């Protein structure tokens, strides 16, 4: 490698750019890198930009966050406020709160940066979730991308923690109440809860130790871990090359799109500025988290509608709907199931299911192949149904987290909403699953219908015998391909429970589970049309098809409308 640098290329470097290029290449092997990557192909689709929204929001969070650290004081020590915001003067508030109020009111661009930071945080987590949903519903988590899916789930989880940490740092009344709840969740942990709470908070809640500790976690520990995971996430995207939607010319062995240089550099680079611009626009025009109105944290006052940011809302909702009778006193000890189940077990289970899902599906399908072509959600009806079921489950929890705001704005009762969601949480998701799956199967049948009988034209004509028909136009090869390209799966067949010698085969019970699971996935699958089926359909409807296919019919039999 190094010898090439010494050897002059075709003539010694002439211009400054040549010299710079030579400098970089001889030290970094830049030419090799550019040759290998600058013309890499990326497929183009709007839904592929959702992950970029998350990535760019994260970068914006780093930039605006650095600005905020220049002014924020991570200290919970109470001081008598004497800053720029007049209504708070003379009150005892923490230095953290005082500095956050002052950076909002006394630093030019300070409020803007705080609002950029907060909006970017909300959008970061939201974009992460939407991106995850896209990956899930299109089956992009399948081999070889299972590990990247797991990294993504971890990132989503860390994003929520990181967001909560940031929400808590200003030490205002709202965020202090959030920390109060966090401390109660720690206290509820069996056996070690009270000790852990005292270690985390450096003594009794709230204490003065926690804010500086949380600051280190928020600006150093979590961002560093997330940055490493993001680097891994992106590395794997490059290694696997991006997935693509099915379509003419797209196969499992190629990737069709535009080269990194210049098209994707301009599009993706430009999109960073667009994301930053949109967030700046929101920060300029929409107020978020007006902490100076909340007052500093004090355990006695509280505000109606004390809520966490949206991404913690589902946990708030689950805690609100859990009845208190789950708190048990056993043998002189207290087991606070009313906190543990909704606040720790439930999110733990959700995370576990998400992490395991790629392997669950793999096991059910027996499909160990690589998949680089995305599924249209309708072509994986069970997965799509499960995904919608999960989202509905999440949505019900989330809605109950805002039940007080819903109650006041829709003239309802919080008690009624909570009771309704207690029932809905168990009833509605399965219904959502069934309905979604039926819709997918219906769409698949419609796709078959279109392939077999062509597309409706909206033109109606009458035969000599008086029969009225709608003219169907055959699909082009490109149009048809989208509807027939996917793999059709049927359930795993049951092997005999006993072998040839009448001995029970080992592992039959597990295989039974697997068979049922596979049947659950593919028992009612709709298979794509085969050329033979299409030919058969043409044969059956020959007369009909002939009419459709010939142009002169159009002239001989003028279309009539039902208006006549």
Partner 1 sequence: MTDVIHSNPVGDSEPSGASPSGSGTTVDTRAGGLPDRFDNPGLPEHRPRMADIDVAAARRAERQVAICFALSAVGSIVTIVGYFLVRLAEPTAAELRTSNTLIGLGLFLTLFGIGVGAVHWAKTLMPDHEQIELRHAVESTPEVKADAADIVTVGIDESGIRRRPLILASLGGALAIAPLPAILLLKDTGPNPGNSLRTSLWEEGVRLVRDPDKTPILASDIEVGSIVHILPEGLVVGGEFSYLEEKAKAAAIVLRLEVEEVAEAARPDSYSGLVAYSKVCTHMGCSVALYEQSTQTLLCPCHQSSFDVLDNCRVTFGPADRPLPQLPIGVDADGYLVATGGLKGTPGPSFWELG
Partner 2 sequence: MITVMRARRHRLALPLLLLASLLGAGLLYAAMTPLATATAEQPVTAVADPTDAEQVAYGRELFLANCSTCHGFDAEGGSTETGSEKVSGPSLIGVGAASVDFQVGTGRMPLQATGPQAPVKQPQYDDVEVKAMAAFIASLAPGPAIPSEFLDPAAGDVGEGAEVFRTNCAMCHNFAGSGGALTQGKYAPSLRDVEPVHVYEAMLTGPQAMPVFGDNNVSPEQKQNIVAYLDYMETESAPGGLSLGLLGPVSEGLVGWIVGIGGLVACAVWLGAKAT
464 binds, among partner 2, partner 1, none (CB under 5 to 8 A by kind): none
CB 327 within 8 A of CB 337: yes
Q: Nearest CA to 311 among 499, 131, 156?
A: 156
Identify which range of 63-71, 220-228, 285-293, 498-506 contacts partner 2 by CB under 8 A.
Answer: 285-293
CB of 5 to partner 1, least distance (A): 29
Binder among 28, 33, 228, 293 for partner 2 (CB under 8 A) = 293
Beta bridge partners of 461: 469
The H-or-E segment that residue 336 falls in is strand 333-336
The interface with partner 2 within residues 53-92 (CB under 8 A) comprises: 53, 86-91
The H-or-E segment that residue 477 falls in is helix 477-484
Identify which range of 154-162, 206-214, 216-224, 547-555 contacts partner 1 by CB under 8 A.
Answer: 206-214
CB of 468 to partner 1, least distance (A): 32
Helices 193-201 and 173-187: crossing angle, nearest 10°?
Answer: 140
Determine if 478 is a binding residue for partner 1 (CB under 8 A): yes
Determine if 181 is a binding residue for partner 2 (CB under 8 A): no
Determine if 203 is a binding residue for partner 1 (CB under 8 A): yes
The interface with partner 1 within residues 207-226 (CB under 8 A) comprises: 207, 209, 213
Binder among 458, 506, 507, 558 for partner 2 (CB under 8 A) = 458
CB of 530 to partner 2, least distance (A): 27
With H, G, I as helix, E, B as strand and everything else as coil, classify residue 335.
Answer: strand
CB of 228 to partner 1, least distance (A): 20
**Closer CB to partner 2, 86 or 493, in the complex:** 86
The interface with partner 1 within residues 1-40 (CB under 8 A) comprises: 40
CB 394 within 8 A of CB 354: no
The H-or-E segment that residue 269 falls in is helix 265-285
Identify which range of 34-42, 374-382, 454-462, 550-558 contacts partner 2 by CB under 8 A.
Answer: 454-462
Q: 190: which 2 tokens? A: 């069996």
CB 178 within 8 A of CB 308: yes
| CB atoms closer than 10 angstroms to residue 531 | 8
CB 420 within 8 A of CB 413: no
- Binding residues with partner 1: total (CB under 8 A): 146
Determine if 370 is a binding residue for partner 1 (CB under 8 A): yes
Determine if 489 is a binding residue for partner 2 (CB under 8 A): no
In eight-state DSSP terms, residue 248 is T
The interface with partner 2 within residues 382-401 (CB under 8 A) comprises: none
541 binds, among partner 2, partner 1, none (CB under 5 to 8 A by kind): none
Determine if 300 is a binding residue for partner 2 (CB under 8 A): yes
The interface with partner 1 within residues 132-161 (CB under 8 A) comprises: 144
Radius of gyration of the chain, Cα coordinates, nearest whole angstrom:
30
With H, G, I as helix, E, B as strand and everything else as coil, classify residue 44.
Answer: coil
161 binds, among partner 2, partner 1, none (CB under 5 to 8 A by kind): none
Interatomic CA distance for residues 125 and 69, integer angstroms: 21
Q: 40: which 2 tokens? A: 């890499």
Determine if 205 is a binding residue for partner 1 (CB under 8 A): yes
The interface with partner 1 within residues 309-328 (CB under 8 A) comprises: 316, 319-327
CB 113 within 8 A of CB 67: yes
Interatomic CA distance for residues 286 and 299, integer angstroms: 29
Kind of pairing, strands 92-94 and 78-80?
antiparallel
Interatomic CA distance for residues 369 and 31, integer angstroms: 35
Determine if 408 is a binding residue for partner 2 (CB under 8 A): yes
Determine if 548 is a binding residue for partner 1 (CB under 8 A): no
Identify which range of 42-50, 185-193, 384-392, 504-512 contacts partner 2 by CB under 8 A.
Answer: 42-50
CB 252 within 8 A of CB 163: no
**Closer CB to partner 2, 341 or 469, in the complex:** 469
Determine if 284 is a binding residue for partner 1 (CB under 8 A): yes
CB of 539 to partner 1, least distance (A): 10
């Amino acid at each position: 490698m190094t010898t090439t640098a010494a050897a002059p290329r075709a003539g010694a470097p002439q211009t400054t750019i040549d010299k710079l290029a030579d400098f970089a290449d001889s030290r970094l092997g830049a030419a090799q890198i550019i040759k290998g990557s600058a013309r890499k192909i990326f497929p183009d689709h709007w839904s592929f930009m959702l992950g970029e929204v998350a990535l760019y929001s994260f970068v914006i969070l780093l930039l605006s966050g650095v600005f905020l650290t220049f002014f924020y004081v991570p200290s919970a020590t109470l001081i008598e406020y004497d800053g720029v915001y007049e209504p708070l003067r003379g009150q005892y508030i923490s230095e953290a709160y005082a500095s956050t109020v002052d950076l909002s009111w006394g630093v030019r661009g300070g409020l803007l940066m705080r609002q950029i930071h907060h909006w970017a945080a909300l959008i970061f987590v939201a974009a992460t979730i939407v991106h995850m949903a896209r990956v899930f519903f299109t089956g992009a988590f399948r081999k070889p991308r299972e590990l990247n899916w797991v990294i993504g789930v971890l990132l989503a989880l860390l994003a929520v923690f990181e967001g909560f940490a940031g929400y808590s740092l200003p030490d205002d009344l709202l965020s202090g109440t959030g920390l109060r709840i966090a401390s109660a969740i720690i206290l509820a942990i069996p056996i070690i809860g009270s000790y852990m709470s005292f270690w985390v908070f450096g003594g009794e809640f709230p204490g003065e130790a926690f804010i500086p500790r949380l600051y280190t976690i928020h600006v150093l520990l979590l961002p560093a871990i997330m940055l490493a995971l993001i680097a891994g996430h992106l590395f794997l995207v490059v290694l696997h090359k991006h997935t693509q939607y099915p379509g003419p010319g797209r196969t499992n062995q190629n990737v069709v799109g535009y080269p990194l240089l210049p098209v994707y550099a301009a599009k993706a680079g430009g999109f960073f500025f667009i994301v930053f611009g949109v967030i700046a626009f929101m920060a300029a025009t929409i107020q978020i988290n007006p902490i100076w109105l909340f007052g500093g944290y004090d355990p006695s006052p509280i505000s109606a509608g004390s809520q966490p940011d949206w991404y913690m809302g589902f946990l708030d909702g689950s805690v609100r709907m859990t009845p208190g009778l789950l708190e048990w006193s056993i043998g002189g000890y207290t087991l606070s199931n009313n906190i543990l189940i909704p606040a720790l077990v439930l999110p733990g289970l959700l995370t576990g299911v998400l992490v395991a899902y790629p392997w669950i599906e793999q096991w059910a399908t027996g499909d160990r192949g690589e998949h680089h072509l995305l599924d249209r959600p309708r072509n994986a009806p069970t997965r799509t149904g499960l995904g919608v079921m999960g989202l509905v489950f999440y949505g019900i929890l989330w809605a109950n987290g805002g039940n007080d705001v819903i109650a006041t704005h829709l003239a309802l009762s919080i008690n009624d909403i909570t009771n309704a969601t207690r029932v809905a949480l168990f009833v509605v998701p399965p219904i959502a699953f069934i309905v979604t799956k039926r819709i997918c199967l219906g769409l698949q049948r419609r796709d078959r219908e279109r392939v077999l009988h062509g597309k409706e034209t909206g033109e109606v004509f009458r035969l000599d015998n008086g029969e009225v028909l709608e003219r169907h136009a055959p699909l082009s090869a490109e149009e048809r391909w989208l509807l027939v390209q996917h793999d059709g799966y049927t359930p795993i067949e049951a092997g005999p429970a006993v072998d040839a010698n009448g001995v029970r085969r080992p592992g039959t019970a597990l295989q039974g589970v697997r068979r049922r699971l596979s049947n659950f996935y593919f028992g009612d699958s709709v298979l794509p049309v085969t050329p033979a089926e299409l030919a058969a359909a043409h044969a059956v409807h020959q007369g009909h098809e002939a009419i459709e296919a010939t142009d002169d019919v159009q002239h001989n039999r003028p279309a009539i409308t039902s208006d006549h």
